[in-house]
Chain A
Amino acid sequence: MNSHMILRVVGKFLIPLIVIFGLYVHFHGDFGPGGGFQAGVIVAAAIILYALLFGLKACKEAVPPSWIRIGMTLGVLFYVGTGVFTWLLGASFLDFDPIHPDIDHAMGQHIGIILVEIGVLLTVATVMVAIFYAFGSRQPEIMDEEQDF
């Protein structure tokens, strides 16, 4: 346990900052490089780093797999829900203009793209963690019968 002390201390300090950087990348997506996908991967990387440093069991207590399942579906729901919401406002699917009356500054586009990107962020982050959990929870030993192919 003590042999991982330095990594764990540095990791504890860095993991929240990695998540904040992910949110920075997310909200910077309007103006420059960034967006929901990259931010989702960065947030997932923070969670995976936690799992690597403290073990899969501790990570599953911190981020339960049931949350992961809810997050995956909620993200897709957010994305499609924004599209349906614009339908209800009388525009076509994912046409963000009628969300906000300020057409000149494209405020509707800003708000709409942020909403859609939140869905992408949720789905990408949770799917990445779900893939990691799926690989990490495998049985490490292979059965004798399966060993020669």
Chain B
Amino acid sequence: MAEAKHDAASHAAAPLPWTEIFEWAQALLSGGLILTGAFFVIAGAIGILRMPDFYTRIHAAGMTDTMGAEFILLGLIIQSGFTQTSLKLLLIAFFLFITSPTATHAIAHAAHLSGLKPKLGPYQAPDLDDIGKGDGS
């Protein structure tokens, strides 16, 4: 009923179709955020495979946990609008934002305490063609 009334009003005065614009903006914004999150997850995965030593690898893994997951969750929150699902996703995002850097810190700290030294000095990443021929630092 209200929908029909709104339609009639919009035909009469021909204002902008705000609900449609809002839906498009919601879809575009959430899609963009999810894609950004997916980019960070892929970047983290490549980083874990390509980085030279433990500490730099754990940096890449932490990036996957925080930036990737946070952006994806933010996109999902915008997708679901003002609902209970959205609130739960917000809580998940909040706890992930606190716990995953803490977990990364705990792992790195344990490695540091047990005496693992980071690789220092200039480093040449192995050529992509040479990967898989042994060495495997």
> Which A residues form the contact surface with B (CB < 8 A)?
3, 6-7, 10, 13-14, 17
Say yes or no: B98 contacts A13, CB within 8 Å. Answer: yes
Say yes or no: B106 contacts A14, CB within 8 Å. Answer: no
Say yes or no: B98 contacts A14, CB within 8 Å. Answer: yes
Say yes or no: B99 contacts A3, CB within 8 Å. Answer: no
Closest 7 CB pairs of A and B: A10-B102, A6-B105, A7-B106, A10-B98, A6-B102, A7-B102, A3-B109
Total B residues in contact with A, Cβ cutoff 8 Å? 8
Interface centre among B95, B98, B99, B102, by most A CB within 10 Å? B102
Complex-state Cα separation, A14 to B105, whole angstroms: 16
Q: Mark B93-113, 1 if CB is under 8 A from A, else 0.
A: 001001100100110010001
Complex-state Cα separation, A44 to B10, whole angstroms: 59
Say yes or no: A14 contacts B113, CB within 8 Å. Answer: no
Known interface pairs A7-B106, A14-B99; 9 further A-B residue pairs with C-beta atoms within 8 A, sorted by A's residue number: A3-B109, A3-B113, A6-B102, A6-B105, A10-B99, A10-B102, A13-B98, A14-B95, A14-B98
Which B residues are in CB contact (< 8 Å) with A6?
A: 102, 105
> Which B residues form the contact surface with A (CB < 8 A)?
95, 98-99, 102, 105-106, 109, 113
In angstroms, how far is the closest chain A Cβ from the Cβ of B102? Answer: 5
15 contacts between A and B (CB under 8 A): A3-B109, A3-B113, A6-B102, A6-B105, A7-B102, A7-B105, A7-B106, A10-B98, A10-B99, A10-B102, A13-B98, A14-B95, A14-B98, A14-B99, A17-B95
In angstroms, how far is the closest chain B Cβ from the Cβ of A46? Answer: 13
Which B residues are in CB contact (< 8 Å) with A13?
A: 98
